[in-house]
Structure 1
Amino acid sequence: MATAFAPLSMKLVFFSFAVAILVGLVSSSRFDELFQPSWALDHVVYEGEQLNLKLDNYSGAGFASKSKYLFGKTAIQIKLVEGDSAGTVTAFYVSLLDFLSLNLFVGGTQMSSDGPNHNEFDFEFLGNTTGEPYLVQTNMYLNGVGNREERLNLWFDPTTDFHTYSILWNQRQVVFMVDETPIRVYTNKEKKGLPFPKDQAMGVYSSIWNADDWATQGGRVKTDWSHAPFVASYKGFEIDACECPATAAAEENANRCSSSRERRYWWDEPIMAELGLHQSHQLLWVRANQMVYEYCTDSTRFPVAPPECDHR
Protein backbone atom coordinates (compact mmCIF):
# COMPACT_ATOMS: atom_id res chain seq x y z
CA MET A 1 0.00 0.00 0.00
CA ALA A 2 1.35 3.43 -0.91
CA THR A 3 2.17 5.73 1.99
CA ALA A 4 1.23 9.39 1.62
CA PHE A 5 3.40 12.15 3.02
CA ALA A 6 1.84 14.19 5.78
CA PRO A 7 1.41 17.87 4.83
CA LEU A 8 4.22 18.89 7.19
CA SER A 9 6.55 16.35 5.60
CA MET A 10 5.76 17.68 2.16
CA LYS A 11 6.54 21.20 3.32
CA LEU A 12 9.86 20.08 4.74
CA VAL A 13 10.74 18.27 1.51
CA PHE A 14 9.90 21.35 -0.57
CA PHE A 15 11.80 23.65 1.82
CA SER A 16 14.89 21.42 1.65
CA PHE A 17 14.68 21.37 -2.15
CA ALA A 18 14.35 25.15 -2.31
CA VAL A 19 17.31 25.68 0.02
CA ALA A 20 19.42 23.28 -2.06
CA ILE A 21 18.63 25.23 -5.23
CA LEU A 22 19.35 28.58 -3.59
CA VAL A 23 22.70 27.40 -2.31
CA GLY A 24 23.41 26.07 -5.77
CA LEU A 25 24.42 22.50 -4.92
CA VAL A 26 28.06 23.48 -5.24
CA SER A 27 31.05 22.05 -3.45
CA SER A 28 34.41 23.63 -2.81
CA SER A 29 37.28 23.12 -5.21
CA ARG A 30 41.00 23.48 -4.78
CA PHE A 31 42.30 26.94 -5.60
CA ASP A 32 44.34 25.77 -8.58
CA GLU A 33 41.37 24.00 -10.16
CA LEU A 34 39.56 27.31 -10.70
CA PHE A 35 42.04 30.16 -10.15
CA GLN A 36 45.62 31.26 -10.67
CA PRO A 37 47.71 34.09 -9.17
CA SER A 38 47.51 37.16 -11.39
CA TRP A 39 50.24 39.40 -9.96
CA ALA A 40 52.89 39.58 -7.21
CA LEU A 41 53.39 35.84 -6.99
CA ASP A 42 55.80 36.27 -4.09
CA HIS A 43 52.91 37.75 -2.08
CA VAL A 44 50.68 34.71 -2.68
CA VAL A 45 51.25 32.10 0.05
CA TYR A 46 49.80 28.57 0.08
CA GLU A 47 49.04 26.83 3.38
CA GLY A 48 47.44 23.53 2.42
CA GLU A 49 43.89 24.26 1.24
CA GLN A 50 44.20 27.85 2.48
CA LEU A 51 45.54 30.70 0.38
CA ASN A 52 46.93 33.94 1.82
CA LEU A 53 47.33 37.24 -0.02
CA LYS A 54 49.84 39.66 1.51
CA LEU A 55 50.09 43.43 1.31
CA ASP A 56 53.20 45.35 2.36
CA ASN A 57 54.73 48.65 1.32
CA TYR A 58 56.20 46.95 -1.76
CA SER A 59 53.12 45.30 -3.24
CA GLY A 60 49.69 43.80 -2.80
CA ALA A 61 48.58 40.61 -4.56
CA GLY A 62 45.71 39.12 -6.50
CA PHE A 63 44.30 36.09 -8.28
CA ALA A 64 41.90 35.46 -11.16
CA SER A 65 39.71 32.65 -12.44
CA LYS A 66 41.12 30.59 -15.29
CA SER A 67 37.84 30.84 -17.20
CA LYS A 68 35.03 33.32 -17.77
CA TYR A 69 31.36 32.66 -17.14
CA LEU A 70 27.90 33.86 -18.10
CA PHE A 71 25.35 33.39 -15.27
CA GLY A 72 25.69 31.23 -12.19
CA LYS A 73 27.10 31.61 -8.70
CA THR A 74 30.55 32.17 -7.24
CA ALA A 75 31.46 32.02 -3.56
CA ILE A 76 34.68 32.31 -1.56
CA GLN A 77 35.34 32.05 2.16
CA ILE A 78 37.52 34.92 3.38
CA LYS A 79 39.07 35.81 6.72
CA LEU A 80 39.88 39.50 6.55
CA VAL A 81 42.95 41.36 7.81
CA GLU A 82 43.20 41.34 11.59
CA GLY A 83 44.06 44.32 13.80
CA ASP A 84 44.77 47.75 12.40
CA SER A 85 43.94 47.37 8.69
CA ALA A 86 43.28 51.07 8.00
CA GLY A 87 43.98 52.06 4.40
CA THR A 88 43.75 48.54 2.99
CA VAL A 89 41.10 47.11 0.70
CA THR A 90 40.41 43.44 0.13
CA ALA A 91 38.21 42.92 -2.92
CA PHE A 92 36.22 40.07 -4.46
CA TYR A 93 34.54 40.78 -7.79
CA VAL A 94 33.09 39.43 -11.00
CA SER A 95 34.19 41.42 -14.02
CA LEU A 96 34.77 41.51 -17.75
CA LEU A 97 38.18 42.99 -17.01
CA ASP A 98 41.21 40.79 -17.17
CA PHE A 99 44.37 41.57 -15.18
CA LEU A 100 45.99 43.62 -17.94
CA SER A 101 42.84 45.73 -18.19
CA LEU A 102 42.82 46.34 -14.46
CA ASN A 103 46.05 48.37 -14.59
CA LEU A 104 46.47 49.81 -11.07
CA PHE A 105 43.00 48.81 -9.90
CA VAL A 106 44.01 45.63 -8.18
CA GLY A 107 42.01 45.24 -5.01
CA GLY A 108 38.83 43.50 -4.08
CA THR A 109 36.63 40.59 -4.98
CA GLN A 110 34.81 41.42 -8.18
CA MET A 111 33.19 39.81 -11.16
CA SER A 112 34.11 41.83 -14.22
CA SER A 113 34.35 42.05 -18.04
CA ASP A 114 36.69 43.81 -20.52
CA GLY A 115 36.19 46.99 -22.51
CA PRO A 116 34.79 50.51 -22.04
CA ASN A 117 31.25 49.12 -21.71
CA HIS A 118 32.20 46.40 -19.26
CA ASN A 119 30.03 45.00 -16.48
CA GLU A 120 31.28 44.33 -12.97
CA PHE A 121 29.98 43.27 -9.53
CA ASP A 122 32.20 44.25 -6.58
CA PHE A 123 32.69 43.37 -2.94
CA GLU A 124 35.27 45.72 -1.37
CA PHE A 125 36.14 45.28 2.30
CA LEU A 126 37.43 48.56 3.71
CA GLY A 127 40.14 48.39 6.35
CA ASN A 128 39.73 50.08 9.73
CA THR A 129 41.54 50.90 12.92
CA THR A 130 41.25 48.33 15.68
CA GLY A 131 37.79 48.07 17.21
CA GLU A 132 35.94 49.98 14.52
CA PRO A 133 33.21 48.38 12.41
CA TYR A 134 34.36 46.58 9.28
CA LEU A 135 32.60 48.12 6.28
CA VAL A 136 31.80 46.23 3.10
CA GLN A 137 31.21 48.29 -0.01
CA THR A 138 29.37 46.84 -2.98
CA ASN A 139 29.32 48.42 -6.40
CA MET A 140 28.08 47.60 -9.89
CA TYR A 141 29.30 48.69 -13.29
CA LEU A 142 26.76 48.44 -16.09
CA ASN A 143 27.82 49.30 -19.64
CA GLY A 144 30.99 50.83 -18.21
CA VAL A 145 29.23 53.08 -15.70
CA GLY A 146 29.75 52.57 -11.95
CA ASN A 147 29.04 55.02 -9.11
CA ARG A 148 26.52 52.62 -7.60
CA GLU A 149 28.24 52.25 -4.23
CA GLU A 150 26.51 50.96 -1.11
CA ARG A 151 28.22 50.49 2.26
CA LEU A 152 27.11 48.55 5.29
CA ASN A 153 28.52 47.30 8.58
CA LEU A 154 29.09 43.59 8.84
CA TRP A 155 27.19 42.21 11.84
CA PHE A 156 30.13 40.06 12.98
CA ASP A 157 33.90 40.32 13.27
CA PRO A 158 35.14 39.08 9.85
CA THR A 159 38.76 38.81 11.06
CA THR A 160 38.33 36.01 13.60
CA ASP A 161 36.92 33.33 11.28
CA PHE A 162 36.09 32.60 7.67
CA HIS A 163 32.80 33.82 6.23
CA THR A 164 31.30 33.14 2.82
CA TYR A 165 30.83 35.96 0.33
CA SER A 166 28.94 35.09 -2.84
CA ILE A 167 27.40 36.55 -5.97
CA LEU A 168 24.43 34.97 -7.74
CA TRP A 169 23.80 36.11 -11.30
CA ASN A 170 21.01 35.05 -13.63
CA GLN A 171 18.81 36.70 -16.24
CA ARG A 172 16.44 38.08 -13.59
CA GLN A 173 18.68 39.40 -10.83
CA VAL A 174 22.15 39.87 -9.35
CA VAL A 175 22.32 39.05 -5.63
CA PHE A 176 25.20 39.84 -3.24
CA MET A 177 25.23 37.53 -0.21
CA VAL A 178 27.14 37.22 3.06
CA ASP A 179 26.85 33.75 4.61
CA GLU A 180 23.86 33.22 2.28
CA THR A 181 22.15 36.34 3.67
CA PRO A 182 21.34 38.72 0.79
CA ILE A 183 22.66 42.24 1.30
CA ARG A 184 21.94 43.72 -2.13
CA VAL A 185 19.77 42.84 -5.12
CA TYR A 186 19.79 44.37 -8.60
CA THR A 187 16.71 43.29 -10.55
CA ASN A 188 16.36 43.11 -14.31
CA LYS A 189 14.22 46.05 -15.39
CA GLU A 190 15.09 46.16 -19.06
CA LYS A 191 11.40 46.60 -19.87
CA LYS A 192 11.69 50.00 -18.18
CA GLY A 193 14.74 50.89 -20.26
CA LEU A 194 17.34 50.11 -17.58
CA PRO A 195 20.56 48.20 -18.37
CA PHE A 196 21.12 44.66 -17.09
CA PRO A 197 24.29 42.55 -17.44
CA LYS A 198 23.35 39.58 -19.59
CA ASP A 199 25.62 39.48 -22.63
CA GLN A 200 29.22 39.56 -21.38
CA ALA A 201 31.11 36.57 -20.03
CA MET A 202 33.01 37.56 -16.90
CA GLY A 203 35.89 36.35 -14.77
CA VAL A 204 36.15 36.11 -10.98
CA TYR A 205 38.92 38.01 -9.20
CA SER A 206 40.22 38.91 -5.76
CA SER A 207 43.04 41.08 -4.48
CA ILE A 208 44.41 43.09 -1.59
CA TRP A 209 45.87 46.56 -2.12
CA ASN A 210 46.63 49.90 -0.54
CA ALA A 211 43.87 52.50 -0.94
CA ASP A 212 44.61 54.87 1.92
CA ASP A 213 43.63 57.83 -0.23
CA TRP A 214 39.95 56.86 0.27
CA ALA A 215 39.38 53.53 2.04
CA THR A 216 39.28 54.51 5.72
CA GLN A 217 37.29 57.54 6.84
CA GLY A 218 37.50 59.00 3.36
CA GLY A 219 41.29 58.83 3.32
CA ARG A 220 41.84 60.64 6.61
CA VAL A 221 43.39 57.53 8.22
CA LYS A 222 46.48 56.29 6.38
CA THR A 223 48.04 52.85 6.24
CA ASP A 224 50.40 52.14 9.15
CA TRP A 225 53.09 50.06 7.50
CA SER A 226 54.54 49.07 10.87
CA HIS A 227 51.66 46.53 11.00
CA ALA A 228 52.55 45.00 7.63
CA PRO A 229 52.29 42.49 6.16
CA PHE A 230 48.50 42.69 6.04
CA VAL A 231 47.11 39.23 5.27
CA ALA A 232 43.73 38.17 3.88
CA SER A 233 43.10 34.42 3.95
CA TYR A 234 40.92 32.37 1.57
CA LYS A 235 39.44 28.90 1.30
CA GLY A 236 36.27 27.24 -0.02
CA PHE A 237 36.61 28.28 -3.66
CA GLU A 238 33.36 27.75 -5.57
CA ILE A 239 32.20 28.59 -9.09
CA ASP A 240 29.00 26.94 -10.32
CA ALA A 241 28.36 28.81 -13.54
CA CYS A 242 28.19 28.50 -17.32
CA GLU A 243 31.76 28.41 -18.57
CA CYS A 244 32.47 30.32 -21.78
CA PRO A 245 35.34 29.42 -24.14
CA ALA A 246 37.72 32.31 -24.70
CA THR A 247 37.31 32.02 -28.47
CA ALA A 248 33.49 32.01 -28.47
CA ALA A 249 31.52 35.03 -29.68
CA ALA A 250 29.10 36.79 -27.36
CA GLU A 251 26.05 35.44 -29.20
CA GLU A 252 27.39 31.90 -29.00
CA ASN A 253 27.96 32.26 -25.26
CA ALA A 254 24.46 33.67 -24.76
CA ASN A 255 22.97 30.64 -26.52
CA ARG A 256 25.23 28.24 -24.63
CA CYS A 257 24.33 29.70 -21.24
CA SER A 258 20.56 30.01 -21.64
CA SER A 259 18.34 27.17 -20.55
CA SER A 260 16.63 25.21 -23.34
CA ARG A 261 14.83 21.93 -23.89
CA GLU A 262 18.14 20.13 -24.07
CA ARG A 263 19.57 21.60 -20.87
CA ARG A 264 18.25 23.32 -17.80
CA TYR A 265 20.44 25.39 -15.50
CA TRP A 266 19.50 25.57 -11.83
CA TRP A 267 19.87 29.36 -11.74
CA ASP A 268 17.12 29.65 -14.38
CA GLU A 269 14.57 27.77 -12.29
CA PRO A 270 11.47 29.89 -11.45
CA ILE A 271 12.38 29.85 -7.76
CA MET A 272 15.55 31.77 -8.62
CA ALA A 273 13.75 34.65 -10.33
CA GLU A 274 13.39 36.52 -7.06
CA LEU A 275 14.20 36.16 -3.37
CA GLY A 276 12.07 33.87 -1.28
CA LEU A 277 10.13 35.18 1.70
CA HIS A 278 12.81 34.37 4.28
CA GLN A 279 15.61 35.92 2.23
CA SER A 280 13.47 38.98 1.54
CA HIS A 281 13.08 39.45 5.31
CA GLN A 282 16.84 39.02 5.76
CA LEU A 283 17.51 41.67 3.12
CA LEU A 284 15.11 44.12 4.78
CA TRP A 285 16.80 43.54 8.16
CA VAL A 286 20.29 44.12 6.74
CA ARG A 287 19.33 47.31 4.95
CA ALA A 288 17.38 48.67 7.92
CA ASN A 289 20.03 47.93 10.54
CA GLN A 290 23.45 47.79 8.85
CA MET A 291 23.28 50.25 5.96
CA VAL A 292 25.73 53.15 6.22
CA TYR A 293 25.62 54.64 2.71
CA GLU A 294 23.36 54.21 -0.32
CA TYR A 295 24.06 56.06 -3.54
CA CYS A 296 20.36 56.32 -4.34
CA THR A 297 19.82 58.63 -1.35
CA ASP A 298 22.93 60.80 -1.91
CA SER A 299 21.40 64.00 -3.25
CA THR A 300 24.78 65.77 -3.15
CA ARG A 301 26.33 63.43 -5.69
CA PHE A 302 23.08 62.88 -7.54
CA PRO A 303 20.73 65.91 -7.47
CA VAL A 304 18.65 63.85 -9.87
CA ALA A 305 18.50 60.26 -8.67
CA PRO A 306 19.90 57.62 -11.06
CA PRO A 307 17.03 56.08 -13.05
CA GLU A 308 17.24 52.64 -11.42
CA CYS A 309 16.64 54.25 -8.02
CA ASP A 310 13.08 55.13 -9.07
CA HIS A 311 12.30 51.52 -9.89
CA ARG A 312 13.54 49.62 -6.85
Structure 2
Amino acid sequence: MISLLTPTHWKDYELIDCGDFEKLERFGNLVLSRPEPQAVWKKTLSDQDWKKQTHIKFKGRSATSGEWIKNSAHLPDRWNVEYKNDDVSINLRLGLTSFKHVGVFPEQAVNWDYISSSIKKFKTASPKVLNLFAYTGAASLIAKAAGADTTHVDSIKQVVNWANENQELSKLKDVRWVVEDALKFVKRELKRGKKYNGIILDPPAFGHGPNGEKWKLEDHIQEMMQDVVQLLDEEEHFLILNTYSLGFSSVIVENLIKTSFPQVKNLETGELYLQATSGIKLPLGVFGKFNTFK
Protein backbone atom coordinates (compact mmCIF):
# COMPACT_ATOMS: atom_id res chain seq x y z
CA MET A 1 0.00 0.00 0.00
CA ILE A 2 1.39 3.42 -0.98
CA SER A 3 0.35 6.29 1.28
CA LEU A 4 0.63 10.07 1.38
CA LEU A 5 0.94 11.16 5.01
CA THR A 6 1.13 14.56 6.70
CA PRO A 7 1.03 15.76 10.33
CA THR A 8 -2.45 16.94 11.25
CA HIS A 9 -2.49 18.07 14.89
CA TRP A 10 0.75 19.89 15.74
CA LYS A 11 -0.37 23.21 17.19
CA ASP A 12 3.18 24.60 17.51
CA TYR A 13 3.98 24.10 13.82
CA GLU A 14 2.42 25.38 10.61
CA LEU A 15 3.59 25.42 7.01
CA ILE A 16 2.09 28.68 5.79
CA ASP A 17 3.22 28.63 2.14
CA CYS A 18 6.01 27.39 -0.11
CA GLY A 19 7.28 28.03 -3.61
CA ASP A 20 10.09 29.64 -5.61
CA PHE A 21 12.51 27.39 -3.69
CA GLU A 22 11.44 28.75 -0.29
CA LYS A 23 9.09 27.82 2.54
CA LEU A 24 7.31 29.99 5.11
CA GLU A 25 6.83 28.23 8.45
CA ARG A 26 5.61 28.99 11.96
CA PHE A 27 7.40 27.35 14.86
CA GLY A 28 5.58 28.36 18.02
CA ASN A 29 5.22 32.13 17.80
CA LEU A 30 8.02 32.72 15.28
CA VAL A 31 7.58 32.68 11.49
CA LEU A 32 10.66 31.72 9.47
CA SER A 33 11.42 31.96 5.76
CA ARG A 34 14.13 29.61 4.51
CA PRO A 35 15.25 27.76 1.36
CA GLU A 36 13.46 24.61 0.17
CA PRO A 37 14.89 22.89 -2.94
CA GLN A 38 11.72 20.82 -3.49
CA ALA A 39 9.49 23.89 -3.91
CA VAL A 40 9.97 24.35 -7.64
CA TRP A 41 6.52 25.94 -8.22
CA LYS A 42 5.35 29.51 -7.70
CA LYS A 43 4.37 30.80 -4.26
CA THR A 44 0.65 30.88 -3.57
CA LEU A 45 0.83 33.97 -1.35
CA SER A 46 2.25 37.27 -2.57
CA ASP A 47 5.76 38.50 -1.79
CA GLN A 48 4.10 41.20 0.30
CA ASP A 49 2.31 38.56 2.39
CA TRP A 50 5.57 36.70 2.94
CA LYS A 51 7.43 39.83 3.96
CA LYS A 52 4.63 40.90 6.30
CA GLN A 53 4.52 37.54 8.10
CA THR A 54 8.25 36.71 8.27
CA HIS A 55 10.06 37.34 11.56
CA ILE A 56 13.37 35.76 10.53
CA LYS A 57 14.68 35.01 7.02
CA PHE A 58 17.58 32.76 6.05
CA LYS A 59 19.93 34.34 3.53
CA GLY A 60 22.22 31.78 1.95
CA ARG A 61 25.88 32.33 1.15
CA SER A 62 25.96 28.94 -0.56
CA ALA A 63 23.75 25.90 -1.05
CA THR A 64 24.58 24.68 2.44
CA SER A 65 25.30 27.71 4.62
CA GLY A 66 24.25 31.29 5.28
CA GLU A 67 22.89 33.61 7.95
CA TRP A 68 19.58 34.49 9.55
CA ILE A 69 18.23 38.04 9.13
CA LYS A 70 15.84 39.17 11.90
CA ASN A 71 13.30 41.94 11.50
CA SER A 72 13.82 42.82 15.18
CA ALA A 73 16.91 42.62 17.38
CA HIS A 74 14.73 41.33 20.23
CA LEU A 75 13.94 38.03 18.50
CA PRO A 76 15.65 34.99 20.08
CA ASP A 77 18.23 32.66 18.56
CA ARG A 78 16.73 29.80 20.61
CA TRP A 79 13.18 28.97 21.65
CA ASN A 80 11.07 25.95 22.60
CA VAL A 81 8.09 24.18 21.06
CA GLU A 82 5.89 21.32 22.27
CA TYR A 83 4.66 18.25 20.44
CA LYS A 84 1.91 16.04 21.78
CA ASN A 85 -0.33 13.28 20.52
CA ASP A 86 -2.81 10.98 22.26
CA ASP A 87 0.00 8.98 23.90
CA VAL A 88 2.89 11.32 24.78
CA SER A 89 4.20 14.88 24.77
CA ILE A 90 7.75 16.23 24.38
CA ASN A 91 9.44 19.63 24.31
CA LEU A 92 12.08 20.60 21.78
CA ARG A 93 14.63 23.39 21.82
CA LEU A 94 14.93 25.03 18.40
CA GLY A 95 17.82 27.17 17.22
CA LEU A 96 19.02 29.14 14.21
CA THR A 97 21.92 27.18 12.69
CA SER A 98 24.22 28.28 9.88
CA PHE A 99 22.95 25.33 7.81
CA LYS A 100 19.35 26.68 7.59
CA HIS A 101 18.08 23.96 9.95
CA VAL A 102 16.37 24.70 13.27
CA GLY A 103 16.70 21.32 14.99
CA VAL A 104 13.56 19.51 13.90
CA PHE A 105 12.02 18.10 10.71
CA PRO A 106 8.26 18.69 11.17
CA GLU A 107 7.08 16.11 8.64
CA GLN A 108 8.56 13.44 10.94
CA ALA A 109 5.65 13.96 13.34
CA VAL A 110 3.79 11.32 11.30
CA ASN A 111 6.49 8.81 12.25
CA TRP A 112 6.49 9.96 15.88
CA ASP A 113 2.81 9.01 16.11
CA TYR A 114 3.59 5.60 14.62
CA ILE A 115 6.40 5.07 17.13
CA SER A 116 4.34 5.91 20.21
CA SER A 117 1.27 3.94 19.11
CA SER A 118 3.41 0.90 18.23
CA ILE A 119 5.19 0.93 21.59
CA LYS A 120 1.86 1.12 23.41
CA LYS A 121 0.79 -2.09 21.63
CA PHE A 122 3.79 -4.14 22.72
CA LYS A 123 3.17 -6.85 25.29
CA THR A 124 6.87 -6.67 26.21
CA ALA A 125 7.57 -4.52 29.26
CA SER A 126 10.01 -1.70 28.48
CA PRO A 127 10.57 -2.65 24.83
CA LYS A 128 13.96 -1.77 23.36
CA VAL A 129 14.09 0.87 20.63
CA LEU A 130 17.09 1.89 18.51
CA ASN A 131 17.16 5.26 16.75
CA LEU A 132 19.89 5.53 14.10
CA PHE A 133 20.97 8.83 12.50
CA ALA A 134 18.98 10.22 15.40
CA TYR A 135 19.77 13.96 15.07
CA THR A 136 18.35 16.09 17.93
CA GLY A 137 16.32 13.24 19.31
CA ALA A 138 12.61 13.90 18.81
CA ALA A 139 11.92 10.29 17.79
CA SER A 140 14.11 9.03 20.66
CA LEU A 141 12.17 11.10 23.16
CA ILE A 142 8.81 10.00 21.76
CA ALA A 143 9.93 6.39 22.20
CA LYS A 144 11.18 7.06 25.73
CA ALA A 145 8.01 8.90 26.73
CA ALA A 146 5.95 5.96 25.43
CA GLY A 147 7.84 3.60 27.76
CA ALA A 148 10.70 2.24 25.66
CA ASP A 149 14.28 1.52 26.69
CA THR A 150 15.79 3.83 24.07
CA THR A 151 19.22 3.99 22.41
CA HIS A 152 20.06 7.10 20.38
CA VAL A 153 22.91 6.95 17.83
CA ASP A 154 24.35 9.86 15.87
CA SER A 155 27.87 10.58 14.64
CA ILE A 156 27.87 14.29 15.59
CA LYS A 157 28.50 15.07 19.24
CA GLN A 158 26.93 18.53 19.07
CA VAL A 159 23.53 17.22 17.95
CA VAL A 160 23.63 14.46 20.57
CA ASN A 161 24.22 17.19 23.19
CA TRP A 162 21.25 19.05 21.70
CA ALA A 163 19.15 15.88 22.01
CA ASN A 164 20.15 15.66 25.68
CA GLU A 165 18.93 19.24 26.16
CA ASN A 166 15.60 18.17 24.65
CA GLN A 167 15.46 15.24 27.07
CA GLU A 168 15.83 17.64 30.01
CA LEU A 169 13.20 20.00 28.57
CA SER A 170 10.82 17.05 28.21
CA LYS A 171 11.47 15.96 31.82
CA LEU A 172 12.65 12.54 30.65
CA LYS A 173 15.79 10.62 31.57
CA ASP A 174 17.95 7.58 30.83
CA VAL A 175 18.05 7.67 27.03
CA ARG A 176 21.29 5.93 26.07
CA TRP A 177 23.38 8.41 24.03
CA VAL A 178 25.92 7.00 21.55
CA VAL A 179 28.21 9.15 19.39
CA GLU A 180 29.29 6.75 16.66
CA ASP A 181 29.02 5.85 13.01
CA ALA A 182 25.62 4.16 12.66
CA LEU A 183 26.76 1.29 10.45
CA LYS A 184 29.66 0.45 12.76
CA PHE A 185 27.33 0.49 15.76
CA VAL A 186 24.86 -1.88 14.07
CA LYS A 187 27.60 -4.35 13.19
CA ARG A 188 28.86 -4.33 16.77
CA GLU A 189 25.37 -4.91 18.14
CA LEU A 190 25.02 -7.89 15.80
CA LYS A 191 28.21 -9.41 17.17
CA ARG A 192 26.85 -8.90 20.69
CA GLY A 193 23.63 -10.71 19.81
CA LYS A 194 21.46 -7.71 20.70
CA LYS A 195 17.80 -7.48 19.74
CA TYR A 196 15.44 -4.49 19.49
CA ASN A 197 11.66 -4.25 19.33
CA GLY A 198 11.74 -1.01 17.38
CA ILE A 199 14.29 0.43 14.94
CA ILE A 200 14.14 3.91 13.41
CA LEU A 201 16.36 5.00 10.50
CA ASP A 202 16.41 8.47 8.99
CA PRO A 203 19.70 8.46 7.07
CA PRO A 204 21.02 11.53 5.23
CA ALA A 205 21.96 11.50 1.56
CA PHE A 206 25.55 12.18 2.60
CA GLY A 207 27.30 12.13 5.96
CA HIS A 208 30.47 11.49 7.92
CA GLY A 209 31.17 9.44 11.04
CA PRO A 210 33.16 10.76 14.01
CA ASN A 211 36.35 9.15 12.66
CA GLY A 212 35.93 10.26 9.06
CA GLU A 213 33.72 7.35 7.95
CA LYS A 214 31.85 8.24 4.78
CA TRP A 215 28.13 7.65 4.31
CA LYS A 216 26.46 7.86 0.91
CA LEU A 217 22.85 6.73 0.91
CA GLU A 218 22.78 4.78 -2.36
CA ASP A 219 26.13 3.11 -1.63
CA HIS A 220 25.46 2.02 1.95
CA ILE A 221 21.71 1.71 2.54
CA GLN A 222 21.45 -1.89 1.28
CA GLU A 223 24.23 -3.04 3.62
CA MET A 224 22.63 -1.13 6.49
CA MET A 225 19.20 -2.66 5.89
CA GLN A 226 20.55 -6.22 5.60
CA ASP A 227 22.32 -5.77 8.93
CA VAL A 228 19.68 -3.84 10.83
CA VAL A 229 16.79 -6.26 10.21
CA GLN A 230 18.83 -8.96 11.97
CA LEU A 231 18.56 -6.89 15.15
CA LEU A 232 14.76 -7.08 15.15
CA ASP A 233 13.03 -9.12 17.85
CA GLU A 234 11.22 -11.95 16.08
CA GLU A 235 8.02 -11.79 18.12
CA GLU A 236 7.30 -8.06 18.47
CA HIS A 237 8.82 -5.34 16.34
CA PHE A 238 8.42 -2.29 14.18
CA LEU A 239 10.82 -0.60 11.78
CA ILE A 240 10.73 2.79 10.08
CA LEU A 241 12.99 3.75 7.19
CA ASN A 242 12.75 7.37 6.11
CA THR A 243 14.81 8.89 3.30
CA TYR A 244 15.12 12.44 2.04
CA SER A 245 16.80 12.16 -1.33
CA LEU A 246 15.62 13.58 -4.64
CA GLY A 247 16.58 10.31 -6.34
CA PHE A 248 14.67 7.93 -4.04
CA SER A 249 11.08 6.80 -4.51
CA SER A 250 8.79 4.78 -2.25
CA VAL A 251 9.20 1.85 -4.66
CA ILE A 252 12.96 1.85 -4.00
CA VAL A 253 12.28 1.81 -0.26
CA GLU A 254 9.78 -1.03 -0.72
CA ASN A 255 12.32 -3.07 -2.68
CA LEU A 256 15.04 -2.42 -0.07
CA ILE A 257 12.83 -3.67 2.73
CA LYS A 258 11.43 -6.71 0.92
CA THR A 259 14.83 -7.93 -0.29
CA SER A 260 16.42 -7.39 3.12
CA PHE A 261 13.50 -8.83 5.11
CA PRO A 262 11.42 -11.18 2.90
CA GLN A 263 9.19 -12.20 5.83
CA VAL A 264 8.01 -8.61 6.33
CA LYS A 265 4.40 -8.13 7.46
CA ASN A 266 2.11 -5.11 7.37
CA LEU A 267 4.44 -3.11 5.11
CA GLU A 268 3.37 0.43 4.29
CA THR A 269 5.31 2.71 1.96
CA GLY A 270 4.67 6.20 0.73
CA GLU A 271 5.59 9.84 0.83
CA LEU A 272 5.64 12.36 3.66
CA TYR A 273 4.49 15.88 2.93
CA LEU A 274 3.49 19.05 4.72
CA GLN A 275 0.13 20.63 3.95
CA ALA A 276 0.44 24.40 3.70
CA THR A 277 -2.45 26.54 4.90
CA SER A 278 -2.20 28.30 1.52
CA GLY A 279 -3.36 25.01 -0.05
CA ILE A 280 -0.14 23.67 -1.58
CA LYS A 281 1.55 20.40 -0.57
CA LEU A 282 5.31 20.18 0.08
CA PRO A 283 6.81 16.66 -0.41
CA LEU A 284 9.59 15.90 2.09
CA GLY A 285 10.82 12.37 1.71
CA VAL A 286 9.69 8.79 1.29
CA PHE A 287 9.21 6.13 3.94
CA GLY A 288 8.69 2.45 4.51
CA LYS A 289 7.44 1.01 7.80
CA PHE A 290 6.20 -2.30 9.11
CA ASN A 291 5.26 -3.99 12.36
CA THR A 292 3.99 -7.24 13.82
CA PHE A 293 0.54 -5.83 14.58
CA LYS A 294 -2.50 -6.18 12.37
Q: Which one has the bigger helix percentage?
A: 2
TM range (shorter): under 0.3
The TM-score normalised by the length of structure 2 is: 0.27
The TM-score normalised by the length of structure 1 is: 0.26
